[in-house]
Amino acid sequence: MSHIVGTILSLAGFIALCLAMPRHQRDLLGRALSEGGVCALRLTGFCLLGLSFLQATWSLGWAYGVISWLGYMSLAAWILILLISWRTQRA
């Protein structure tokens, strides 16, 4: 269960960071966000990645938690790449 939670937190963090980029705002949302919205998305993204790190190290210990966290982030990044590719092809 902890692996699913870590992956979901990492995916949510990467989605927030993705939406903070102007190109992805244009492609996915169809408009640009305000500077305050971009800052909030960046802060949220980094906090979610940090929360994923804390969850991994708390549930698996320091040594295995760091390795698992890197795996969570890798899996989440691949999922996000596939979702963005699928979404932009549909549009």
In terms of pTM, does the model score above 0.85? yes
Report the SS3 class of residue 49.
Answer: helix
Give the C-alpha separation, 4 to 85, whole Å. 23
Confidence of residue 80 (pLDDT cuts 50, 70, 90): very high
How many angstroms separate the most distant Cα atoms in the chain?
43
Instruction: Summarize pLDDT for 53-78 with one digit per residue, the tens.
Output: 999 999 999 999 999 999 999 999 99
